[in-house]
């Protein structure tokens, strides 16, 4: 039985009792309940016409262990005895309605698994003070998001060593890559008031080390996730020591990774890594030492977490690079401000794009 029916049934019961015992008090209570129900209906109806809800994404790309931050803006609710609730939950079927004010207007939305997705409009509902009437509204637009694999620099993968310093010749300057050795920082450019730069070095005579990513035989998506994290960690470590070349399943040629931009492009591709047909992974001519990143036999990995509602998988190529391609900065909790790894803990990157991407909302309403 709905809440409206309960309130009206209570009013009817009081009216019957008032008529039976001839009590004006009970009759007044019955009339009061009807007035409360009518007021609640009018309040929610007016709020549905006046209230505007917007949703924006602070970042369109996050790591697996980081939430998407959904920021909501509410306009036109002032003076109305209603509250806004948002559907919150980590997985489909486990959601519950939570007052939006508990999140301070910004709700964490945890995906928990790499890949490209379409984020549907977020359902919210308007509720009157007594919780009698509710009306659902939707905030936001269809927006593509990309969840990147968290680099696992501690995975059991044989990482080929970078080239010795005496085998590398300086080749100009490039923007500083967090985690690069202090000895590579070009302090003169910083002293002249410029941005922090580091010396760029030419490829060593022996060639950059080659990282081959192999997913053949990984019949479980969780195993492919492990390969993606291990490959991202391997590339991250080699980029700090001078660079590397990377071959993903289906590549005809290796991709050279010597700076943060190239590493980010490979990181995006690893977000859409899939199982490839079995094939021999061979060394490329001109490459240095190589390492094949594949799922080790006998390793047990936990299953993938279920997707929360409101996300629809889509091809990784459908998510275009955001503004980070021009001016994004990577902050790594495992890296000091100017230096190498801070300890031996697996590094976890964090994206910082500066200005958030703002999306205007589209409201669609339906009676609950």
Residue 328: the pLDDT is 38
pLDDT digits over 100-124, tens only? 887 788 888 888 889 999 999 988 8
Contact 146, 61 (CB under 8 A): yes
**243 is a domain residue:** yes
Q: Are residues 96 and 13 in the same domain?
A: no
CA distance linking residue 189 with residue 24, whole number of Å:
89
Residue 146: the pLDDT is 92
Q: Are residues 45 and 59 in the same domain?
A: no
Greatest Cα pair distance, the chain, in angstroms, is 104
Range of the domain at 70: 54-149+358-367
Residue 98 has pLDDT above 80, yes or no: yes
Q: Are residues 198 and 245 in the same domain?
A: yes
> Who has greater pLDDT, 147 or 285?
147
**184 is a domain residue:** yes
Q: Are residues 176 and 229 in the same domain?
A: yes
What is the chain's Cα-based Rg?
Answer: 28
Residue 337: the pLDDT is 28
Residue 88: the pLDDT is 80
Q: Are residues 202 and 291 in the same domain?
A: yes
**322 is a domain residue:** no
Residue 215: the pLDDT is 86
**97 is a domain residue:** yes
Over residues 293-316, the mean pLDDT reads 84
Residue 161: the pLDDT is 58
Q: Are residues 125 and 65 in the same domain?
A: yes
Residue 307 has pLDDT above 50, yes or no: yes
CA distance linking residue 126 with residue 134, whole number of Å:
5
Q: Are residues 293 and 171 in the same domain?
A: yes
Over residues 74-81, the mean pLDDT reads 84
CA distance linking residue 167 with residue 288, whole number of Å:
12
Over 271-285, what HEC string results?
A: HCCCCCCCCCCCCCC
pLDDT digits over 35-48, tens only? 888 888 898 888 88
Domains identified in the chain, total number: 3
Helix (H) or strand (E) holding 19, with range, is helix 3-21
Residue 339: the pLDDT is 30
- Residue 258, classed as helix, strand or coil, is coil
> Which pLDDT band, with edges at 50, 70 and 90, does 261 fall under?
confident
């Amino acid at each position: 039985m709905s809440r409206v029916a309960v309130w009206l049934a209570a009013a009817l019961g009081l009216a019957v009792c008032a008529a039976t015992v001839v009590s004006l008090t009970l009759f007044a209570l019955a009339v009061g309940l009807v007035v409360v129900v009518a007021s609640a209906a009018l309040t929610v109806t007016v709020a549905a016409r006046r209230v505007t809800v917007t949703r924006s994404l602070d970042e369109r790309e996050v790591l697996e262990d980081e939430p998407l931050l959904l920021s909501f803006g509410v306009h036109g609710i002032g003076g109305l005895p209603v509250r806004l609730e948002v559907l919150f939950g980590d997985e489909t079927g486990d959601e519950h309605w939570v007052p939006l004010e508990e999140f301070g207007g910004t709700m964490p939305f945890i995906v928990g698994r790499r890949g490209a997705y379409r984020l549907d409009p977020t359902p919210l509902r308007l509720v009157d003070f007594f919780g009698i009437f509710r009306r659902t509204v939707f905030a936001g637009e269809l927006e593509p998001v990309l969840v990147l694999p968290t680099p696992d620099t501690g995975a059991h993968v044989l990482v080929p060593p970078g080239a010795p310093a005496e085998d590398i010749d300086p080749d100009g300057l490039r923007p500083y890559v967090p985690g690069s050795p202090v000895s590579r920082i070009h302090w003169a450019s910083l002293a002249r008031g410029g941005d922090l730069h580091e010396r760029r070095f030419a490829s060593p005579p022996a060639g950059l080390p080659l990282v081959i990513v192999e997913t053949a035989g990984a019949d479980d998506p969780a195993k492919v996730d492990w390969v993606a994290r291990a490959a991202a960690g391997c590339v991250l470590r080699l980029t700090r020591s001078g660079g590397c070349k990377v071959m993903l399943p289906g590549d005809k040629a290796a991709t050279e990774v010597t700076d943060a931009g190239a590493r980010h492009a490979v990181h995006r591709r690893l977000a859409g890594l899939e199982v490839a047909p079995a094939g021999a992974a061979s060394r490329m001519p001109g490459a240095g030492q190589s390492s094949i990143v594949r799922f080790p036999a006998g390793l047990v990995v936990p299953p993938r977490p279920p997707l929360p509602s409101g996300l629809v998988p889509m091809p990784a190529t459908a998510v275009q690079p955001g503004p980070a391609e021009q001016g994004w900065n990577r902050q790594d909790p495992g890296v000091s401000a100017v230096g190498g790894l801070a300890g031996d803990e697996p590094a976890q990157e964090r994206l910082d794009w500066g200005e958030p991407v703002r999306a205007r909302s589209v409201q669609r309403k339906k009676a609950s």
